[in-house]
Every structure is written in structure tokens, then in C-alpha cells.
Amino acid sequence: MFIQASILFITSEEAEGNLLKEEIPKEKIHFVGNVMVESLLKYRYKAEQSRILEKLNLNEKGYALVTLHRPSNVDQRETFKEILEALYRIGKEIDVVFPAHPRAQKRMKEFGFQNLDGRIIITNPVGYLDFLALEMNARFVLTDSGGVQEETTFFHVPCLTIRENTERPITVTRGTNTLVGTDSNTIVRESLNILNGKGKEGDVPEFWDDKVSERVVQTLQTYI
């Protein structure tokens, strides 16, 4: 048995169309923005104090950042090999920083992918503030993470999503995100486009600000 929510908060106007197609009454839908951005803004200053770039001997905009964790990318040997091949080729042009998720590390060991040549800097996972620092200072980001797609759009950092689809379509239509799938040639081509100054600039979507929770509370008050 499914119980339908009385109030639905959405992060983008496009989401309303999807809910209307599901026959959700329009009066239940409220566009308030992306609450994740409030967390980002709260901790951005602390992230700017991070020493992670110094620790890894990196320069601002002098490296690409990678995150991989989805089973569809790291659990299949040939798919993972294709992605790592792309990273190896990109590493000939720019340093590639890869804070490897435990799942990815496990598969790399299992598949014999541990000895990667080139300028690929593999580290253990880093904390939230250090990761934000790496993210906001990267030339571009390669990822299969939904949250990272949103964060890079907010930071105006080009993002290449190593997936065939995304649950954050606004990061593609309005933001800095480009879907590249898992084909190594496509990943490399789009990476080189960015390095050649042809990366997607994008805009920060409406209501991605520090007032989201206020709009949520204001909406809830109308139901009291």
C-alpha cells in the first residue's frame, strides 16, 4: 500500500512536469530549490582553508578530479578497464586525482588494475571539506556521483558524468554537466575539449541559494 505525500518540494521547475505526469495535484507541488546548496554554502569557507592541494602537490586548475563508485562502472571488469584507459590517456595531458572509493579499490585489486602509469594520483577517500576543495579548484571533474554533478554546477566547474543517464537532468540542461557514458574515446574527447577551452560553462539554477530552508518553512506554515 502506497501513501501519497501531502506536500512535495522540488529542486527545479522541470521536476513539476514529471510529477504532473504522475497525476500529482499541482497544489501539492512546491518549488523551493536545492537544499544541498545550503550545506555547500555553509561549509564552503572552511573548505577554502583546506591544505589538500598542498598535501598532494597540486596547483589550482592544474588537475582533473575523478570519483567512481557505482557498481555498473566498477564491478564489471571490461567497463572499469575502459574507464581507466580513458584516465590513463587524460593523464598524459593533465594530472588526474582519484580519491578511490573502497569499492573501486577492491575491484582494482581484484582485477589487477593497481599499477597505473601516467599522471594518475590515487589516494584513499578524503573528507568532505578536502573533497570540496579539490572539486572547486579542479580544471574539470569526471564522476558517476549524482551529488557531485550538482556541486560542480554550483562551482561552475565542467563535469563529465560517466553514465548514460542522470537523475539530475538540470545539471545537463542548465549546468556544467555533460553525459559521456563509459566509452574511453568519448571520455577522452570531451576531456580534451575542456582542456582546449571548450568546456560547458552553464548557470546556477534558480533557487540554488541559502534561502531554501526558509522557503520550505514558509510553505509548511501555510498548511498550519
Residues annotated catalytic, as ranges: 69
Q: For residue 62, which amino acid is it?
A: G
The closest alpha carbon to 151, from 163, 164, 87, 137, belongs to: 137
Question: Sign of the CA dihedral 47, 48, 51, 54?
Answer: positive
**How many C-beta neighbours within 10 Å does residue 32 have?**
18
* 99, HSE (Cβ side, Cα atoms, 13 Å): 16
d(CA 94, CA 196): 12
Alpha-carbon distance of 170 to 172, in angstroms, equals 5
Q: Which helix (H) or strand (E) holds 98?
A: strand 95-99
Instruction: Please answer whether residues 32 and 219 qualify as being in contact, where contact means their C-beta atoms are separated by less than 8 angstroms.
Output: yes
N residues, the chain: 224
Torsion of CA 187, 40, 134, 47, to 10 degrees: 180
